[in-house]
A and B are shown apart, each in its own frame.
Chain A
Amino acid sequence: MTAPTSAVPAAAAAVARAGAGRPAPRPTRRLVRKGTLYAALVAGGVAMMIPFIWMATTSLKTRAEVFTSPPFSFPTGLHWENYANMWFALPGVTFGTFFQNSIVIASLATIGQVITCAMAAYAFAVIEFRGKRVLFALILATLIIPFQIVLVPNFILYRYLPWPLSDSGNWIGTILPLWVWAFFGGAFGTFLLRQFFLTIPRELADAARVDGANPWQIFLRVYVPLARPALATLAIFQFMWSWNDLLDPLIYLRDLPTYTTTVGLAFFQGQFVGKWPEMMAGALVSLLPMIILFLVAQKYFVRGIALSGIKG
């Protein structure tokens, strides 16, 4: 694992470590300062967590309790039935269906992005060809253009792409528009992986070439294995973006059984105004996979953002 870690710029790697060296003040003053700092940081952290705490406590209260009890009281009993009510609230589908759809879409989009962005990044980092700079600049430009500008033509494209299995006969109403695009490259992933590939010593590729490997073999056997941390970063971000996306699923999905968790939640809200415990249960359940992923892979999230500056 030496090559991958050394490939991360010092600035990003440093996030994992802590602190800038400072000259030490006198001991007592330092203790007081440290204590205040702790208190302030912990208080701020709790403040940041209030929406999550509020979500969790509400989800376990009864509906009557929600309106009568003081705000930060704990629930009188643990009303887990709110979760069951939420799960089975909609006719014909369960929340599990939404979960399944989100997992399928996010997984396919992630696979597509990792493969095609890695390929493009390899071309930009390793291969010499005419027009490379212009093409790379063009891809970077699409990174800072608000993607909503392509919503209308993309919708029209999918409207005319045939799909015999759907009611409409085209891609509208299917989950296809939500993941197929991912198999055609992407600016963020290409940029992120190119930066990483550039840090891999060219001698490794040269040595493989001398041994008779072609560029595809060099890509698969030298670059991909060394770039595993960067590939993981891209995979995690793409999974999260697909999981959290609302606008595209809203535009393309038509029937409840195809909904993702985000559209399902938004629909749920329109149907069940005022049922706060059930709604908070739904919100919490929909967030859970991402929260777990974050706790497990925080390092990759932090590194990805510090490296590329792209937001969650």
Chain B
Amino acid sequence: MTSTARLGDLAGGVEPMPDRAGVPSGRGPRAREARWALLFLGPTLVGLAVLSAGPILATFGISLTKWDMLTAPQFVGLENYGKLLGDDRFLKALRNTVFYTVVSVPVGLVLALGLAAALNQQIRGIAWIRTAYFLPLVTSATAVALVWLWIYSPTGLLNDFLALFGIPPQRWVSDPTLAMPSIIAMSIWQGLPANVIIFLAGLQAIPVEYYDAASVDGAGRWSRFRDVTLPLLTPSIFFVGVLALIGAFQVFDQVYVMANPGKPSEATITLVYFIYENGFRNFKMGYAGAASWIMFLIVAVFTILYFRTQNRWVHYQ
């Protein structure tokens, strides 16, 4: 956390004495420039100190206390962390969130890749076709979860459809083993457009000459995709992967809506829901803070491990 430690110096030097911050060499054009920088960055620096980077440290401080917001906080050391590791609901939330991430990220990525390749065509009306695929992009997870709840309901569309093949109706949302996969399927549908758009941009940045050269060498459609497209697209794939990974850990809205009415069972509770429930329903600020820090660390570990794999499969031109 060396970078956040520096924030203190920066913000501290900024607020009381605007003229002095970051200007060692007195007057002159550079000093004047720096003063202008301060003016432009003023709101951002306050936001960073008070609303984002500062609070990350504050969360850790709060996590060492017992605090219900009615009485004064009480220092309890690492007790909250110890309690969390023995809290069955927290461990379920952790397991569900990791399950959600390791399934939804790779499946979503592969589907988006295939779809992007299919949509990367020069045919009439492609703009309209793409619009249909991109539409879920702008929809709120809340409204989407409501529709899917209805699709998944015992008398809903999915069971009606499966009945055509003689498959008996399933309880997609209330059956503990099916609940999480159902939520994952819905999230993949909603997350597809953003990933497809990034992949499309990546595909269209590949120089045509590469394909021409491959064709001259006698490469077929599939081998062109495997030997030209895929390696050149790995930076995009890596990038989408990072975003999908971090985003997946934050899953909340779908779970909130689907676990009617806002009280998920242990089958679908996620980390963010656990934080919400403890912090803002039960006002256990210290406990919620500790859960936030554990989530932060887990996301950091996953992200670092993911970055470590980079050398093995990502080809930068």
Contact = CB atoms under 8 A, between A and B. Distances in A.
Bound pair (A, B): yes
A94 B113 CA distance: 43
A51 B144 contact: yes
Interface stretch (A75-83, A198-206, A227-235, A275-283): A275-283
Contacts of B140: 243-244, 246, 261-262, 286-287, 290
Nearest to B191: A311
Contacts of B96: none
B295 A156 contact: no
Given A14-B201, A127-B37, A156-B62, A246 B194 contact: no
Contact of A152 (B118, B129, B212, B285): B285
Contacts, number: 333
B144 A150 contact: no
Contact of B292 (A38, A51, A148): A148
Contacts of B144: 51
B109 interface: no
Nearest to B23: A130
B47 A251 contact: no
Given A130-B22, A145-B296, A246-B253, A48 B212 contact: no
A154 B189 contact: no
A153 B279 CA distance: 10
Chain A: interface size category:
35 or more
Given A18-B126, A156-B62, A269-B261, A306 B3 contact: no
Nearest to A46: B132
A118 to B, nearest CB: 9
A70 B303 CA distance: 47
A49 B192 CA distance: 13
A87 interface: no
Nearest to A11: B205
B24 A130 contact: yes
A226 to B, nearest CB: 17
Given A54-B147, A155-B280, A246-B140, A149 B59 contact: yes
Contacts of A216: 36, 39
B230 interface: no
B142 A244 contact: yes
A72 to B, nearest CB: 8
B84 interface: no
B211 A184 contact: no
Contacts of A119: 40-41, 43-44
Interface in B245-280: 246-247, 249-250, 252-253, 256-257, 260-262, 271-272, 275-276, 279-280
Given A48-B135, A273-B260, A309-B240, A246 B292 contact: no
A302 interface: yes
A96 interface: no
10 smallest CB-CB distances across A and B, nearest first, come from A19-B122, A184-B47, A185-B44, A270-B261, A45-B132, A244-B140, A14-B204, A306-B201, A153-B55, A11-B205
6 contacts: A41-B121, A119-B40, A119-B41, A157-B50, A185-B48, A291-B139
Interface of B: 3-4, 6-7, 10, 22-24, 30, 33-34, 36-41, 43-48, 50-56, 58-59, 62, 69, 115, 118-123, 126-127, 129, 131-144, 146-151, 153, 155, 157, 160-161, 189, 191-194, 197-198, 200-206, 208, 211-212, 215, 239-240, 242-243, 246-247, 249-250, 252-253, 256-257, 260-262, 271-272, 275-276, 279-280, 285, 288-289, 292-293, 295-296, 299, 303
Given A48-B189, A156-B285, A215-B33, 20 more contacts: A18-B121, A19-B120, A20-B208, A21-B211, A123-B41, A127-B36, A130-B22, A130-B23, A147-B52, A148-B272, A153-B55, A154-B51, A159-B69, A214-B36, A244-B138, A262-B140, A269-B261, A270-B262, A287-B138, A309-B243
